[in-house]
């Protein structure tokens, strides 16, 4: 189930003063001279009338909620309104939370091998994150792709190792389907044959149920035959899981069914689908080469036929990477201009987008 993880973001980007105050202990009223009245704080200026901050990382576009990121991996909302984002910096191994005008705060960090399209690929918060502060990360190392567990003040602990890595085809995705089930999609590591090989973990959708560090049982294979840049977009209300990927001949969106993946739509022009999300009766995809967000209608029993994709956003933010959808229909989308596009001074970015009509509006 894909849900927003509430994280606290506010104040100044420099936490030195806060740390010093914590070390100094609680404020003592005896520090004020005897008889001096309590100072009256000035009235707060309404947020909407405050002048925006200045600096090289301030983007004038009000939809942009994160700026000056390294090339991005997975993204997810950090609050229920979509004003806060949590995003993976693929090339630095950092998981960052921020909102418009900041500050940016690092929630977790792990060493990665960011060569090719590897690095910090995706992440998922523990279902009990508010108690244990654990984050699971899908990363590339010099030897493999793997799932690691990040805990505050501890080194990353391997949970699942041995996912093949390649010069390309490393991008995958993951999410917690339940408190004890982590669904992981893996790329084909540049080897299409491995995706159909039952002995390989490449090009698969896997079910991980063991979260202890060290030797863990082999995960169950839910589906096989996937290409590169595999992304997952579950419908949280129905449990249906859609998968987007790229192959040598086409990009596509499939739905996972008991008999295996079923193709819903293909793009023979290969726009380089990088992310997907489900909201408001539509399946949205973000593309890197054509720099679009496109939408197809989500099939239902009453309306099982898929109609041609509608372009709902085009060439406004450059090359697009991963996306996440909120229950209110809002999308959060990360750019990858530092990897393949023409970066602007505030790239890479995360922006909020509310499609008008989504995949059901064909006017």
146-155, 209-218, 251-260, 275-284: least confident range: 209-218
pLDDT tens figures, 256-293: 999 999 999 999 999 999 999 999 999 999 999 999 99
Q: From CA 48, how far away is CA 66, in angstroms rounded?
A: 19
29-38, 122-131, 241-250, 294-303: least confident range: 29-38
Could you tell me which residues come within 8 angstroms of residue 100 by beta carbon, excluding any fewer than 6 positions away? 62, 64, 65, 83
pLDDT surpasses 50 at 177: yes
**What's the whole-number mean pLDDT along residues 67-93?**
98
336 and 288 Cβ atoms separated by less than 8 Å: yes
pLDDT tens figures, 100-113: 999 999 999 999 99
**What is residue 85's three-state secondary structure?**
strand
Say what the pTM is: 0.86
**What is residue 239's three-state secondary structure?**
coil
pLDDT surpasses 50 at 18: no
**What is residue 24's three-state secondary structure?**
helix
Confidence (pLDDT) at 357:
55
pLDDT surpasses 70 at 196: yes
**What's the whole-number mean pLDDT along residues 35-51?**
52
Selected residue with higher pLDDT from 216 and 133:
133
Q: In DSSP terms, which residues pair with 267 in a beta bridge?
A: 251
Confidence (pLDDT) at 12:
34
pLDDT surpasses 70 at 199: yes
Reported as a pLDDT band with limits 50, 70 and 90, residue 54 is confident
224 and 198 Cβ atoms separated by less than 8 Å: yes
Token readout for 342 is: 């023409």
Q: From CA 253, how far away is CA 251, in angstroms rounded?
A: 7
Q: From CA 354, how far away is CA 360, in angstroms rounded?
A: 14
Confidence (pLDDT) at 359:
41
196 and 221 Cβ atoms separated by less than 8 Å: no
Q: In DSSP terms, which residues pair with 244 in a beta bridge?
A: 231, 253
Q: How many Å from the N-terminal Cα to the C-terminal Cα in the chain?
A: 32
Residues in the chain: 363
User: Vertex 98, ends 92 and 103: CA angle to 5°?
Assistant: 100
User: Vertex 334, ends 349 and 284: CA angle to 5°?
Assistant: 145
Tell me what the pLDDT averaged over the chain comes to.
88
Q: From CA 195, how far away is CA 363, in angstroms rounded?
A: 39
pLDDT surpasses 90 at 145: yes
Selected residue with higher pLDDT from 44 and 306:
306
Question: What percentage of the chain carries pLDDT values higher than 70?
Answer: 84
């Amino acid at each position: 189930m894909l849900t927003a993880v509430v994280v606290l973001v506010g104040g100044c980007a420099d936490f030195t003063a806060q740390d010093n105050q914590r070390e100094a202990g609680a404020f003592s009223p005896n520090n004020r001279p005897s008889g001096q009245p309590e100072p009256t704080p000035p009235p707060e200026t309404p947020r909407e009338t405050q002048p925006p901050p200045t600096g090289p990382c301030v983007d004038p576009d009000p939809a942009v909620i994160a700026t000056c990121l390294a090339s991005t991996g997975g993204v997810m909302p950090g609050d229920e309104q979509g004003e806060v984002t949590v995003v993976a910096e693929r090339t630095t191994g950092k998981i960052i939370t921020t909102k418009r005008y900041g500050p940016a705060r690092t929630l977790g960090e792990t060493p990665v091998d960011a060569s090719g399209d590897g690095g910090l690929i995706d992440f998922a918060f523990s279902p009990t994150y508010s108690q244990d502060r654990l984050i699971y990360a899908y990363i590339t190392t010099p030897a493999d792709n793997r799932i690691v567990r990040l805990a505050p003040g501890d080194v990353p602990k391997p949970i699942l190792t041995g996912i093949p890595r390649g010069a390309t085809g490393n991008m995958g995705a993951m999410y917690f389907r339940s408190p004890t089930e982590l669904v992981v999609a893996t790329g084909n590591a540049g080897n299409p044959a491995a995706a159909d090989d039952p002995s390989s973990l490449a090009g698969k959708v896997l079910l991980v149920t063991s979260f202890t560090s060290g030797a863990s049982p082999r995960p169950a294979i839910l589906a096989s035959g996937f290409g590169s840049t595999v992304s997952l977009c579950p419908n949280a209300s129905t449990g249906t899981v859609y998968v987007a990927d790229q192959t040598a001949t086409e990009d596509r969106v499939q739905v996972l069914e008991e008999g295996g993946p079923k193709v819903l739509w293909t793009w023979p022009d290969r726009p380089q689908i990088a992310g997907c999300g489900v909201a408001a009766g539509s399946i949205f995809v973000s593309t890197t080469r054509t720099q679009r967000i496109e939408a197809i209608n989500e099939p239902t029993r009453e309306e099982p036929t898929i109609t041609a994709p509608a372009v709902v956003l085009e060439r406004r933010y450059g090359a697009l990477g991963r996306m996440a959808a909120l229950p209110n229909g809002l999308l959060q989308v990360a750019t990858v201009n530092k990897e393949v596009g023409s970066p602007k001074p505030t790239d890479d970015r995360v922006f909020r987008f509310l499609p008008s009509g989504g995949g059901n509006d064909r006017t």
